[in-house]
């Protein structure tokens, strides 16, 4: 079965062709650079850009896959969560193509797809129950996965998503948006133990996250440094980045292992743009040698349409039908 995936939840426009939920025939992603000067995603500009490039991008994905539209069986589209305007572009395009080409479309949850990305390359019987850890620019979730499509939420953030904390910290260190990857680079030359920042605790919810305090601690440190020395030296920037990164990931790992201890967890699947961070992957492997860890390849960590097509295949097969045309864009859905 050949599925065309469409992803437009935020500032990446993406299209992909995937066979039987696993074999990626093409995976085309266009990241919108226009937002860098605003220090964050400008929603109106994001949806306008999706409108401009989605159709040519779908053509490109079909071309790279050497697949004609007559060979497509299903169209999968991320219908939420995300920015309303952006979601509407992807969903309405999927509905229109579904009508025009007379093939079903299926709506997929973007966050669930981030987790599926870690399972996509694995043998067909994945280790379950497992812990799912989503670390992205908009989402931070710990969830028990008992089967594909069956989840129990264990923890989430009460304020910023982890990627958001990386992006805001990056701005404080003079990096441009989105700055997660640059924080990782700066940290390579920094001392992660230099500043003992503390991670956020949520009263009576040991598995929930709070990153706003950590971000403020970085702000205070930057200001202190600037007041004392007039500017932030390169060495200081690296040390602050490394200490921030270490604190944020130590918190994620500690809470993930605590969450895993609450059920008969057999493996941990991680997904989302932040999960491509090599420091996180190494630290996690060191701290959790007893549990198999599955990270998606880099190109499937950040937003992409291959994970949407892959999960869409399973949704279509398990429901034996597509989604109804009444399906609406859902900016705030959860996935359990
Ligand atoms: O999954 P994603 O592409 O979009 C959302 O669904 O939100 O994640 C984007 C996030 C951004 O916050 C970006 O700064 C962060 O992933 N990111 C990283 C790294 N690469 C991207 N964060 C930490 N380390 C990285 N290497
Ligand atoms: Zn995402």
Distance 108 CA to ligand 2 centre (A): 12
Q: Lowest-pLDDT range, 8-22, 24-38, 58-72, 271-285? A: 24-38
Residue 271 Cβ < 6 Å to ligand 1: no
CB contact set of 296 (below 8 Å; sequence gap of 6+): 117, 118, 120, 121, 270, 271, 275, 276, 307
Q: pTM score, two decimals?
A: 0.96
CB neighbourhood size of 78 (10 A): 33
**d(C-alpha 67, C-alpha 298), whole Å:** 25
Distance 114 CA to ligand 2 centre (A): 7
Q: What tens digit of pLDDT does each residue of 256-310 get?
A: 999 999 999 999 999 999 999 999 999 999 999 999 999 999 999 999 999 999 9
Residue 181 Cβ < 6 Å to ligand 1: yes
Q: Taking the CA atoms of the chain, what radius of gyration do you get in angstroms?
A: 20
Cα 40 to Cα 46, 79, 103, 114, 237: the distances in Å are 11, 22, 36, 21, 21
Give mean pLDDT, residues 146-151: 94
Q: What tens digit of pLDDT does each residue of 209-265 get?
A: 999 999 999 999 999 999 998 999 999 999 999 999 999 999 999 999 999 999 999
Closest residue to atom 4 of ligand 1, CA basis: 137
Residue 76 Cβ < 6 Å to ligand 1: no
Contact 139, 111 (CB under 8 A): yes
Contact 71, 82 (CB under 8 A): no
CB contact set of 3 (below 8 Å; sequence gap of 6+): 17, 18, 19, 21, 72, 73, 74, 75, 76, 309, 310, 312, 313, 316
CA dihedral 204, 206, 208, 212 (to 10 degrees): 80
Distance 221 CA to ligand 2 centre (A): 30
Closest residue to atom 16 of ligand 1, CA basis: 273
Distance 202 CA to ligand 1 centre (A): 23
């Amino acid at each position: 079965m050949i599925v065309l995936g469409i992803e437009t939840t935020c500032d990446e426009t993406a299209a992909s062709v995937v066979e039987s939920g696993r074999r990626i025939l093409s995976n085309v992603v266009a990241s919108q650079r226009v937002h860098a000067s605003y220090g964050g995603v400008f929603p109106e500009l994001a949806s306008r850009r999706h409108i401009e490039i989605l159709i040519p991008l779908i053509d490109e994905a079909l071309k790279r896959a050497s697949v004609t539209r007559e060979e497509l069986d299903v169209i999968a589209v991320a219908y939420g969560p995300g920015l309303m305007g952006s979601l509407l572009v992807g969903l309405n395009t999927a509905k229109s193509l579904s009508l025009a080409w007379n093939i079903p479309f299926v709506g997929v949850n973007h966050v669930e797809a981030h987790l599926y990305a870690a399972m996509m390359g694995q043998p067909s019987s994945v280790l379950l129950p497992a812990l799912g850890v989503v670390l992205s620019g908009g989402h931070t979730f710990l969830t028990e996965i008992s089967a594909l499509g069956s989840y129990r939420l264990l923890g989430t953030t009460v304020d910023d998503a982890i990627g958001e904390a990386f992006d805001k910290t990056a701005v404080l260190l003079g990096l441009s948006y989105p700055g997660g990857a640059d924080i990782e680079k700066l940290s390579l030359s920094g001392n992660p133990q230099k500043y003992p920042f503390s991670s956020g605790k949520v009263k009576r919810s040991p598995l929930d996250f709070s990153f706003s305090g950590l971000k403020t601690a970085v702000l205070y440190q930057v200001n202190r440094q600037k007041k004392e020395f007039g500017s932030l030296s390169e060495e200081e920037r690296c040390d602050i980045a490394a200490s921030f990164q270490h604190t944020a990931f130590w918190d994620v790992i500690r809470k993930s292992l605590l969450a895993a201890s609450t059920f008969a967890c057999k493996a941990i699947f991680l997904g989302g743009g932040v999960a491509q961070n090599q420091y996180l992957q190494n630290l996690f492997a060191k701290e959790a040698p007893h549990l198999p860890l599955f990270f998606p390849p880099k190109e499937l960590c950040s937003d992409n349409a291959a994970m949407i097509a892959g999960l869409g295949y399973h949704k279509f097969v398990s429901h034996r039908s597509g989604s109804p045309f009444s399906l609406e864009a859902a900016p705030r859905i959860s996935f359990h």
